[in-house]
Amino acid sequence: MIMEKNTFDYVTVKSARSGRILVVRDARDALTLLTQHWSKNPTARHAAACEACRSAIAGTTSGHNARIAFVEAAQEIHILVAERTGPQMIAPAIEQKISAHEPNKQS
């Protein structure tokens, strides 16, 4: 399988317009989301993400750089869906279990 230069580790976002969960895997998909499905009030981070995605598609920057800019723009408008799987879930699960378990509590 040939990896294009503009691909990156996926980013999960919640669409600002439809509320659907979307998985973005490359600069082309990120640019489509940024230009056609973003909030109606673009910001400087939005513009930077668009530029980074265009540059990745053109081959003048990496997909990794486009991903960073896209994530920053998504964070800014609160649509980034945090991945909470595997080891990231262990500490919160333990904390929850410990706080729920109160052996010395008298009724």
pLDDT of the residue at 16: 76
Break the chain into its structural domains and give their ranges. 7-100
- The model carries a pTM of 0.73
Structure tokens at 102: 């109160």
Binning pLDDT at 50, 70 and 90, where does residue 10 land?
A: very high
Q: Could you tell me the pLDDT band of residue 84, with boundaries at 50, 70 and 90?
A: low
Distance CA 9, CA 31 (A): 15
Three-state DSSP at 24 gives strand
Q: Are 57 and 97 in contact (CB under 8 A)?
A: no
Question: Amino acid identity, residue 1?
Answer: M
Mean per-residue pLDDT, 20-26: 94
pLDDT band at 104 (very low <50, low <70, confident <90, very high): low
Give the side-chain half-sphere CA count within 13 A for 43: 10
Q: How confident is the model at residue 88 (pLDDT cuts 50, 70, 90)?
A: very low
Task: Give residue 26's identity as a one-letter amino acid code.
Answer: D
| CA count, 13 A, side-chain hemisphere, 24 | 30
Burial of 79 (0-12, 13-18, 19+ CB in 10 A): buried
